[in-house]
Structure formats: structure tokens, C-alpha cells
Amino acid sequence: VTDTGASSQALPASAAHGLTVIDARWTDRDAISDVLLTSGIFGQSDAECVDDMFVETWQKPRPDGYRWLRCAGPDDGLLGFVCYGTESLTQDTWDLFWICVRPQARGRGVGRTLIEETVRRAQAENGRFMVIYTSSTDAYAPARALYRAAGFAQNATIPDYYKDGDSLQIFWRRLRV
């Protein structure tokens, strides 16, 4: 277990001109699947898992259900999304479950804008702590860099968790003192 120390400060969203982050809508369902299937790292089973979560959110609304944010450019087209929510059996710990940005929209602050709004909303609901589970593989290096840039620290590694050579890395950030 390593603790690199989490910063309490997120990067400013100054690079995010022209981006709008709001609650996702039911009509975003297909676009969210498309974002995953064209991501270069997620496949059909991942997209189906996310779709099940998305459908459950609308069909069985619950106060502790999944939350979804969409980030769009000036034409309202979906550039990326995030799914987050509370972590059961914890006191005010939140979990960022999924984040994905269209390949052609990467490097323009979409991911940062989504994560900052996720943190802001969790804080507004008295969130105390946020965790993100991710992979150690090269394909997830941009995600790990994003989490660090957003003030998350890598706290723990479980070797070979996903498969041999693919470890689980847990990032965390305290949302309030």
C-alpha cells in the first residue's frame, strides 16, 4: 500500500471554454454506449454493464442510486460522461464509477470538467470522501493522470486483481475536513 498524499485542490476548469456539464438525460443512453464502444479501451461487456446501470437509474429511481453527468460542446453533442454515486455501508463516501470522453474530444478539459463537477456535487451533498477504482495498465495512464490532476492520490494497489499483470489501483480524495 502506498500513499502519495492527496491534494485538497483540484485544477481550475480554465481550459474548459464552451463546455457544459449537466445531468444526463434518458435520451443520452445511446450516446453513452457509443462513447464507451469507441473509447479504445472499453468493450461490449463494459457498455452493457453501464447500460444496465443507466436503465436501472431511470426505471428504479432511488435516492442512493447512480448519478450521471453529461459534458457537451456548443452544439450540445455528448463529448463525455461520468457515473458516480454513494458507496454503500460507508459514511458519506462517494464513488466515481465510470468516466469516458470521446477520443476526438480528449485533451480539451472535458474529463477535468466532469470530475470537478462530480466532486462539487458530492460536496454539496455533504460528501466526505471519494474513491475511484482503476487499472494499472498503460491504457489507463491518461485516467490516472486525470485523477492526480484533480487532486486524487493513489492509495492502494492489489496486484493482478483484474487479471495477471493488471492490478487494481485505488485513488482517493477527501472532500471535506
Ligand X SMILES: CC(C)(COP(=O)(O)OP(=O)(O)OC[C@H]1O[C@@H](n2cnc3c(N)ncnc32)[C@H](O)[C@@H]1OP(=O)(O)O)[C@@H](O)C(=O)NCCC(=O)NCCS
**Residues of the shown chain interacting with ligand X in the complex, contacts defined by CB under 6 A:** 39, 41, 99-101, 106-112, 134, 140, 142-143, 145-146, 149
Residue whose CB is less far from ligand X, 84 or 177: 84
- List CB contacts of 24: < 8 A, sequence separation 6 or more: 32, 68, 69, 70, 81
What's the closest the beta carbon of residue 150 comes to ligand X, in angstroms?
7
Q: Which is nearer to ligand X, 70 or 108 (CB)?
A: 108
DSSP string, 8-29: S-PPP-TT-TT-EEEE--GGGH
DSSP state, 102? -
Provide, rounded to whole angstroms, the least separation between the CB of residue 127 and ligand X. Answer: 19
- Residue 165: CB minimum distance to ligand X, A: 17
Specify the amino acid at residue 101: V
Is the Cβ of residue 55 or residue 145 nearer to ligand X in the bound state? 145
114 vs 175 by CB, closer to ligand X: 114
Q: Output 21 or 143, the one with its CB closest to ligand X.
A: 143
Q: Which residue is it, cell 474529463?
A: 111
From residue 71, alpha-carbon distances to 81, 152, 153, 164 in Å are: 6, 21, 24, 34
Residue with smallest beta-carbon separation from ligand X: 111
Q: Backbone phi, then psi, for 67, in 5-degree steps?
A: -115, 150
DSSP, collapsed to helix, strand or coil, labels residue 117 as: helix
**Set of cell numbers at residue 97:** 464509477
